[in-house]
Amino acid sequence: MNQLSCYPDSIGKASSQTCHLRELDLCAATLLVFTQNPSGIATNDVELDKQCGYLKEADMCLKNFTRKCATSLQRDLITFITEGSTRLLNEYCTSGSQLRQSYLKHSECLNQATQANRKTCIKDLQLALETVSQVDWDQRIPTGCCAYRRFQECTETQVEAKCGSEAVEFMDIILRMSLSRLPDIVCPSYNPKTDQCKALLPESGATPKGPKSNSVLSRLFSAYTGL
């Protein structure tokens, strides 16, 4: 199904033609600029302000899509899911805030840890993006949840080993700002070590197709990360 069927009947076909799921891919692509910046995560106020621009752009992209394409009930649900990440975004992007100062305390080590895991955690995530785009609709949520949990576990393990448990909390904050509360609501029961997730995901360490993939997100991923 190429088109998101979320318009009330009173809205004409000409308007509904703008509501394609590929618009969400473009919103996600903006987040990729933030989360997978080749120079690493921000380590000072200037870099934070620059990356906050990408985050706010992605946030506005999602809000515009929701306003155009969602019913009133869907908008309320999306607002509930994204409320926490919006608060985090505002505090993270406010100069001098407690969250921002605490984050900057750990940022140098976080940057080193995330750069070190680019060849493992991120390649596995890109593989998962390619898989999600190919499976049947009824398997997309389980596959996406398994992929998210594997990436989260991989990242947290590397960050904790290099920077300690307190730094892991700030890595999770970055993920929540990027992905909202949705994974925590939809995916709590998924574990990447279970047989279910192992059956859904490609083997860790395999090479993604990248620019040759059928997944738009994977191709954009490669463009920003060079993987």
Residue-wise pLDDT tens digits, 4-60: 333 333 333 334 445 765 666 667 665 655 555 555 677 888 888 888 887 788 788
Residues 6+ apart with CB under 8 A from 40: 111, 114, 115
- Within a domain: 1: no
Helices (H), the chain: 13-16, 22-35, 45-69, 72-92, 98-116, 123-132, 137-163, 165-179, 182-186, 195-200, 216-225
- Within a domain: 14: no
Res 36: pLDDT: 54
CA–CA dist 55, 88 (Å, integer): 11
Residue 78 has which token pair?
């999306």
Burial class (CB in 10 A: 0-12, 13-18, 19+), 203: exposed
- Within a domain: 4: no
Res 193: pLDDT: 92
Res 5: pLDDT: 38
- Within a domain: 8: no
The one-character DSSP state at 135 is S
The residue among 13 and 212 whose pLDDT is bigger is 212
- Within a domain: 7: no
- Within a domain: 12: no
- Within a domain: 192: yes
Res 8: pLDDT: 37
Give the three-state DSSP class for 120.
Answer: helix
Residue-wise pLDDT tens digits, 72-103: 887 777 777 677 677 778 888 898 888 888 88
Q: Which domain holds residue 152?
A: 19-225
CA–CA dist 64, 95 (Å, integer): 26
177 close to 196: Cβ distance less than 8 angstroms:
no
- Within a domain: 103: yes
Residue 212 has which token pair?
């040759």
Q: Looking at the 3D structure of the chain, how many domains does it have? A: 1
Q: Examine the pLDDT at 174 and tell me if it is beyond 90.
A: no
Prediction pTM value:
0.66
- Give the highest mean pLDDT range of 60-69, 194-203, 204-213: 194-203
